[in-house]
Amino acid sequence: MALFINDECINCDACISECPNNAIYEPDQEWSYSDETTLSGTVTTPGGKEVDADAENEPLSDEFYFIVADKCTECKGFHDEPQCISVCPVDCIHPREDYQETEAELLEKKEWLHGA
Ligand code: SF4
Ligand code: SF4
């Protein structure tokens, strides 16, 4: 499942550089599917939604760092453990119960983001 950052985040910036998928953004930062991925133009997300990968999307939070679920693979394909959780000093990053994915789906998502 994808992860999310809760309101205990102290905006310390430790997690952002650890993410291999560029799924973490600063408060009030616009984000795109194409940031540090091989996606471009019109693409279909793993959830079946057609999107413009290059579009700048609205920030998901204006107060705390946030994770774009469609770009989070729990670090599968790169690391054994979620790197953001490992470095977060206040343990404010948690699994999203509403965004369940199998390991195979997470690995497919990694290929979708970066190519096989
Ligand atoms: S679990 Fe990994 S891929 Fe997901 S947001 Fe954290 S560092 Fe990024
Ligand atoms: S490491 Fe934790 S506290 Fe620091 S910005 Fe990331 S989520 Fe927030």
Taking the centre of ligand 1 as the mean of its atom positions, its distance from the CA of residue 42, in whole angstroms, is 24
Question: How high is the pLDDT of residue 99?
Answer: 87
Taking the centre of ligand 1 as the mean of its atom positions, its distance from the CA of residue 77, in whole angstroms, is 11
Question: How high is the pLDDT of residue 109?
Answer: 95
Domains in the chain, CATH or no CATH each: 1-116 (3.30.70.20)
Q: Which ligand is nearest to the CA of 18?
A: 1
Taking the centre of ligand 1 as the mean of its atom positions, its distance from the CA of residue 76, in whole angstroms, is 9
Q: Is the pTM of this model over 0.75?
A: yes
Best substitution site from 24, 33, 65, 93 to test ligand 1's pocket, by max atoms within 8 Å of Cβ?
A: 24
Contact status, residue 67 vs residue 3, Cβ threshold 8 Å: yes
Q: What is the pLDDT along the chain (116 residues), one digit of tens a residue?
A: 789 999 999 999 999 999 999 999 999 999 999 999 999 999 999 989 999 999 999 999 999 999 999 999 999 999 999 999 999 999 999 999 988 899 999 999 999 999 87
3-state secondary structure the chain: CCEEECCCCCCCCCCHHHCCCCCEECCCCCECCCCCCCCCCEEECCCCCEEECCCCECCCCCCCCEECHHHCCCCCCCCCCCHHHHHCCCCCEEECCCCCCCHHHHHHHHHHHHCC
Best substitution site from 1, 4, 73 to test ligand 1's pocket, by max atoms within 8 Å of Cβ?
A: 73
Question: How high is the pLDDT of residue 69?
Answer: 95
